[in-house]
Amino acid sequence: MRREVPLFITFVVGSLYTLNNVFAVKVGSWTLNSSIRDLNTWVLIVAAFAMGLASVHLLQVHTIHIARKRKSWVNSVLLIVSFVLVTVVGVLATTFNVKGLVGLNNNLFNNVQSPLGATMWAMVGFFICSAAYRAFRLRSVEAGVLLFSGILLMLAKAPIGEAIWRQFPVIGTWLLNVPNTAGQRAIMMGAAIGGFATAIRIILGLERGYLGE
């Protein structure tokens, strides 16, 4: 039962959604489409519950850090404090509409989360420069093609590229519209066939990785 019921749920739900996309099923006044619309709300609810899973695990890990006074446990305290503050303020401001906290909620996002997130991800810009300098060596024809297409596109996308030579943007646009599109398209088509096959296998219960097996 512990394995069969989940497989049955996957089969029924997956089949209903697949059927709805292919046929307009109607029996008397009932239509499959109307049931799928009701089911959509169920999906949103279950997905919303799933959003909290990672946070629970995060809190678990950092609570253990604090309890066992592991190295830099103070950072774990900061993490939990910021988590609780943002959650409480956010819930009160948006779910219970406490007017006085709406401004604080916006401030926490605009002055803490947003700039910190942007800065952290922007650091990747530094790493990519260093990585490009170290890794891009003309060792073979393929490496050369990779390197030159990358450099040509960088020159095409930067306004100064057009100032240096007017054909750089033309070459860049061609690279993007023809070889890049062809390559991405072929990869996309292959992935689509693979995705389709995997989806069928999941619905039929042949693929059980999501059950932890």
In the region spanning residues 60 to 99, those forming contacts with another protein, defined by CB under 8 A, are 60, 72, 74-76, 78-87, 89-91, 94-95, 97
Among 28, 29, 68, 130, binds another protein (CB under 8 A): 130
List Cα–Cα distances, 21 to 33, 36, 117, 143, in angstroms: 9, 10, 39, 44
35 in Cβ contact with 16 (< 8 Å): yes
Q: Taking the mean position of all CA atoms in its chain, how far away is CA 51?
A: 13
Buried b vs exposed e over 134-145: b needs ≥16 C-beta within 10 Å?
A: eeeeeeeeeeee
Q: Say if CB 4 and CB 11 are below 8 A apart.
A: no
Q: Which 99-118 positions form the footprint of another protein (CB under 8 A)?
A: 106, 108-110, 112-118
Burial class (CB within 10 angstroms; exposed 0-12, middle 13-18, buried 19+) of 158? middle
Work out how close the CB of 139 gets to another protein at its nearest, in angstroms, rounded to a whole number: 8
Does 2 participate in binding another protein (rule CB under 8 A)?
yes
Q: Find the binder of another protein among 25, 66, 162, 171 (CB under 8 A).
A: 162
Question: In angstroms, what is the minimal distance from the CB of 209 to another protein?
Answer: 10
Task: By CB under 8 A, name the one of 7, 32, 66, 171 that touches another protein.
Answer: 7
Q: How far apart, in whole angstroms, are the C-alpha atoms of residue 190 and residue 41? A: 32
Which is nearer to another protein, 26 or 37 (by Cβ)? 37
Please report how close the Cβ of residue 14 comes to another protein at its closest, in angstroms. Answer: 4
Residue closer to another protein (CB basis): 25 or 162: 162
Out of 35, 63, 167, 182, the residue judged to bind another protein by CB under 8 A? 182
Least CB distance to another protein at residue 29 (A)? 18
Of the residues 29, 68, 69, 125, which one makes contact with another protein according to CB under 8 A: 125
User: What's the CA gap between 98 and 128, in Å, rounded?
Assistant: 44
Number of residues that bind another protein (CB under 8 A): 143
The mark string for 12-51 relative to another protein (x by CB under 8 A, - otherwise) is xxxxxxx-xx--------------xxxxxxxxxxxxxxxx
207, exposed or middle or buried, with CB in 10 Å at 0-12, 13-18, 19+? middle
